[in-house]
Chain A
């Protein structure tokens, strides 16, 4: 078991390293291949219409004239140990973990990410609770009563759910439940949970439900397919044959086996979402990580986008690790096989 976890941990570190390479390539290598010179690239790191001096300073600080390998080395060491941006005249410190320095606003990116994390976290956790409970239970019920009215209605709804873009359902829900019938506050309202838990929940109901609807639809389809497969397996017949009550057969034998792939996908989805539910946050104007990144793109403030991207990837890796450990707990074969 410990060996298994250590191996997954090592795989996680490798994954993180690969992610830094890809992120670095996208931000620094691809623009070069596309024919942007270091001046042009630097201009994208200082905001709209920068002065030539500012561009020169940023170019110097990001080592944009150095070979690409040196730049990558600086990038990674900054992440791990922090870094200093030296322009000759003044020095900017960026403490570890240095997720970048916004030259546009003259601030480190990391504290700003930390500021926005609670918003994204509130959105992601609330939505995840709804979609897992709703999606899995509907999927199981549908599979157990295959062909029933409930099954067909649930699957039609689920198909519609996965076909609806979240920014459309979000807008419609805002138009109906915030404008025509003002039950919920308009987009852009967010209150911290520590300030006023009731207002916090009230403002988040629409984003939660909108986001959860899409994922619940996906999970219901997945769970149903998984349950149908599992309930046809031999071990289910064995469990029934030895006289176990149907409830035990379904929950302890069927669901447990059907859940493993769902847990894997949940790890990915949840990790990605912690790094910013970009579309939901944009639709409801929630000041989370995703909205932060979108605004940064519009303002030519690339260090922020880089920071959000790296953080998201880190979340995915961590969630994957947790899932791997959970896997060993749910599925004994993993423990034995490792």
Chain B
């Protein structure tokens, strides 16, 4: 966690203008964003992670194009690839070939590569949207708790404790279990995705909320907030114009670190059969189908497993690097 107080150089974070003024002797001052970017660019591990994240985002966006060029429709059964007697893929390596890059699924013969590509859509979509919900809720609650203090803080802090004590996975399973196939004007997969985003996002906000609260607590005692208040600024103005800009860095870092957690969560729900419904391809769903074939077609299990692992790892590497780059205590 970054603690801007009592740290030499922390002023950069709070008052970019001040740096611009004093640093102007040599050349133009650098904003915090520029400094962070310079540091981040030197961090090869973080940049590799970032590049992989961009790659996966592109794969998700361009899934129809990529699957069209390099694979087969994700839900198409390719019976000719399956040994009719055994139900296993023809040829060695689980049916891997230039035509089927990651091989085919046993029994159905669906193209694993295409399904991985399409699965990226669900993972990224739910990962991003759920994080957005958490970040908006967490930031609002955290900033209110930290700024107003007193009973407001006590109430919100208690609420955060309570939320963290909930068995999230069971709740998600229960909600998917009780809801019908069409509700709230949505149906089928749109409804499932909405439910998943809501549950994952709504129950994860305290992680962001706690961090934002802590940061706000120390920021509100700073001189520039006091100055603003003495000039007669309203609470809302101080929250929006003085505090929020200074919270952008931690919000950015912890959003980046929450996305992989949420991707893992979505995969877990799909694995348990309460995620997006088949035949829509999801990484977790593929893993649960692969359970029975780890002896005859290990590629079926390895492909989605590695897809989850690498994507989550890439987000974590990038997030860790971003945190170091934005932390004024790190020496560049």
- Taking beta carbons and an 8 Å cutoff, which residues of A are in contact with B? 11, 15, 18-19, 22, 26-27, 30-31, 34-36, 40-41, 44, 159-160, 162-168, 171-172, 174-175, 179, 268, 271-272, 275-276, 278-279, 282-283, 293-294, 297-298, 300, 302, 305-306, 308-309, 312-313, 316-317, 320
Q: How far is B177's CA from A298's CA once the two chains are assembled, in angstroms?
A: 8
Partner of B165, one of A166, A293, A308, A316: A316
Given the interface contacts A41-B178, A268-B164, A297-B274, does A167 sit within 8 Å of B287 by beta carbon? yes
B271-A167 in contact (CB<8A): yes
Instruction: Report the minimum CB–CB distance from A39 to chain B (whole Å).
Output: 12
Cβ–Cβ < 8 Å partners of B86 in chain A:
none
B294-A171 in contact (CB<8A): yes
B177-A34 in contact (CB<8A): no
Q: How far is B288's CA from A268's CA once the two chains are assembled, in angstroms?
A: 28
Given the interface contacts A34-B179, A171-B301, does A278 sit within 8 Å of B170 by beta carbon? yes
A159-B165 in contact (CB<8A): no
Q: Is B174 an interface residue (CB 8 A)?
A: yes
Closest to A40 in B: B180
Closest to B267 in A: A165
Q: Is B55 an interface residue (CB 8 A)?
A: no
Partner of B295, one of A18, A27, A179, A279: A179
Cβ–Cβ < 8 Å partners of A162 in chain B:
316
B165-A26 in contact (CB<8A): no
Q: Is B183 an interface residue (CB 8 A)?
A: yes
Q: How far is B313's CA from A36's CA once the two chains are assembled, in angstroms?
A: 41
Cβ–Cβ < 8 Å partners of B294 in chain A:
171, 174-175, 179
Closest to B294 in A: A175
Cβ–Cβ < 8 Å partners of B264 in chain A:
163, 165
Q: Is B309 an interface residue (CB 8 A)?
A: yes
A312-B167 in contact (CB<8A): yes
B171-A320 in contact (CB<8A): no
Q: Is B298 an interface residue (CB 8 A)?
A: yes
Partner of A171, one of B177, B272, B287: B287
Given the interface contacts A165-B308, A168-B305, A272-B167, does A26 sit within 8 Å of B260 by beta carbon? no
Residues 301-327 of chain B: 1 if any A CB is under 8 Å from the residue's CB, otherwise 0? 100110011001100110010000000
Given A167-B271, A175-B295, 13 extra CB contacts under 8 A: A15-B165, A27-B178, A34-B180, A165-B309, A167-B287, A174-B294, A175-B301, A278-B169, A283-B291, A297-B174, A302-B178, A305-B173, A316-B167
Q: How far is B305's CA from A297's CA once the two chains are assembled, in angstroms?
A: 24
A31-B179 in contact (CB<8A): yes
Q: How far is B167's CA from A302's CA once the two chains are assembled, in angstroms?
A: 16
B170-A305 in contact (CB<8A): yes
Q: How far is B273's CA from A279's CA once the two chains are assembled, in angstroms?
A: 11
A-B contacts, 11 of them at CB < 8 A, read A15-B162, A22-B166, A26-B174, A160-B313, A165-B271, A165-B308, A167-B268, A175-B301, A293-B173, A294-B273, A306-B174
Residues 168-196 of chain B: 1 if any A CB is under 8 Å from the residue's CB, otherwise 0? 01110111111110011000000000000
Closest to A317 in B: B165
The 8 A-B pairs with the shortest beta carbon distances in the complex, nearest first, are A34-B183, A168-B305, A163-B313, A312-B167, A163-B312, A175-B294, A316-B165, A31-B178
Instruction: Report the minimum CB–CB distance from A311 to chain B (whole Å).
Output: 9
Q: How far is B258's CA from A162's CA once the two chains are assembled, in angstroms?
A: 12
Q: How far is B273's CA from A298's CA once the two chains are assembled, in angstroms?
A: 8
B316-A163 in contact (CB<8A): yes
Instruction: Report the minimum CB–CB distance from A49 to chain B (whole Å).
Output: 16
Instruction: Report the minimum CB–CB distance from A226 to chain B (whole Å).
Output: 11
Given the interface contacts A34-B179, A171-B291, does A309 sit within 8 Å of B167 by beta carbon? yes
Q: How far is B278's CA from A223's CA once the two chains are assembled, in angstroms?
A: 41
B166-A313 in contact (CB<8A): yes
Cβ–Cβ < 8 Å partners of B59 in chain A:
none
Q: Is B290 an interface residue (CB 8 A)?
A: yes
Q: How far is B179's CA from A173's CA once the two chains are assembled, in angstroms?
A: 35
Partner of B175, one of A26, A41, A165, A282: A26
Most buried by B among A163, A167, A305, A308: A163
Q: How far is B183's CA from A31's CA once the two chains are assembled, in angstroms?
A: 9
Cβ–Cβ < 8 Å partners of A166 in chain B:
268
Instruction: Report the minimum CB–CB distance from B321 to chain A (whole Å).
Output: 12
Instruction: Report the minimum CB–CB distance from A304 to chain B (whole Å).
Output: 10
Closest to A35 in B: B183
B298-A175 in contact (CB<8A): yes
Cβ–Cβ < 8 Å partners of B165 in chain A:
15, 19, 268, 271, 313, 316-317, 320
Instruction: Report the minimum CB–CB distance from B179 to chain A (whole Å).
Output: 5
Closest to B268 in A: A279
B170-A282 in contact (CB<8A): no
Cβ–Cβ < 8 Å partners of B298 in chain A:
175
Partner of A302, one of B169, B174, B317: B174
Partner of A44, one of B178, B291, B308: B178
Closest to B184 in A: A34
Cβ–Cβ < 8 Å partners of A313 in chain B:
165-167
Q: How far is B305's CA from A167's CA once the two chains are assembled, in angstroms?
A: 9
Cβ–Cβ < 8 Å partners of B288 in chain A:
167
B162-A18 in contact (CB<8A): yes
Cβ–Cβ < 8 Å partners of B313 in chain A:
159-160, 163
Instruction: Report the minimum CB–CB distance from B285 to chain A (whole Å).
Output: 11
